[in-house]
Chains A and B, each alone.
Chain A
């Protein structure tokens, strides 16, 4: 009996986690999509005709089993990279992606060298 109850709760928990993952994914995608006819609003935040249509298309594609990347690729193909707030890494914007890491590492090295110098004194 105890085992059955445990199995029941495991299955229930699994379904709940699955349901949460689905809703989070859909919301995450919509929040990363720019409403092209609104000023500074994401598709998730906008109620414009365009945003409503994109919401339907994204949910349809999720239901069809498309991955997050496939959905972004489809929309980027149709509307360009401007539609996503977080553009994918490519040769044009690689510096933009790498710069924070470079600054972080350089800063770390400078701090390390300063500490080392101070200790040596």
Chain B
């Protein structure tokens, strides 16, 4: 009887271990913050780039849709997405809020002078602290939110043409 119990326990343990490995290895191990989609952004306090004021939730509630784009002049991929941001700026239903991330003010201004300024509003996050509130872990990253400040989509990396079409479809619906 005792032998049978031990045998059964060993078999169950082996099944359990195989099960854990099966589930663990089939799981996507690439990290992303897609779980933020559907969440509401709160406690927004972003220092305006040039004016002496703070951009808060109230400012974003005025827009039907807002694309919050985190960028820096030292970031190569930010240059790649810049023409798409300029195109997105033509959309009437969408406001673009740029957050200049850990950058020098002069370099940021030069960047915008050279490539064009797509932003309706521009904020500054000198130490990167405020970007943590948006779940940012690298730039460029962009977050599309609606009037209720609910995250519709997060774009990790430069915005592609497909992303552009996706945003256009969402805001024109």
Residues of A within 8 A of B (CB): 36-37, 49-50, 52-54, 56-57, 60, 75, 77-80, 82
Chain B residues with CB under 8 A of A56: 127-129
The number of residues on chain B lying at the interface, defined by a beta carbon within 8 Å of a beta carbon of chain A, is 16
Residue of B nearest to A113 (CB): B2
Residues of B within 8 A of A (CB): 31, 33, 35-36, 39, 102, 127-129, 131-135, 137-138
Contact A36 B132 (CB under 8 A): no
Q: Chain B interface secondary structure, helix, strand, loop or mixed?
A: loop
Residue of B nearest to A77 (CB): B39
Chain A residues with CB under 8 A of B132: 53-54, 57, 75, 78
Q: A36-B31, A56-B129 are in contact. Are A50 and B135 (CB under 8 A)?
A: no
Chain A residues with CB under 8 A of B135: 78-79
Q: Chain A interface secondary structure, helix, strand, loop or mixed?
A: helix
User: Which of B31, B102, B133 is within 8 Å of A49, CB to CB?
Assistant: B102
CA distance A52 to B132 in the complex (A): 11
Contact B33 A80 (CB under 8 A): yes
Q: A37-B138, A50-B137, A79-B137 are in contact. Are A57 and B36 (CB under 8 A)?
A: no
Q: A37-B138, A78-B135 are in contact. Are A53 and B33 (CB under 8 A)?
A: no
Residue of B nearest to A81 (CB): B35
Contact B33 A50 (CB under 8 A): no
Contact A50 B138 (CB under 8 A): yes
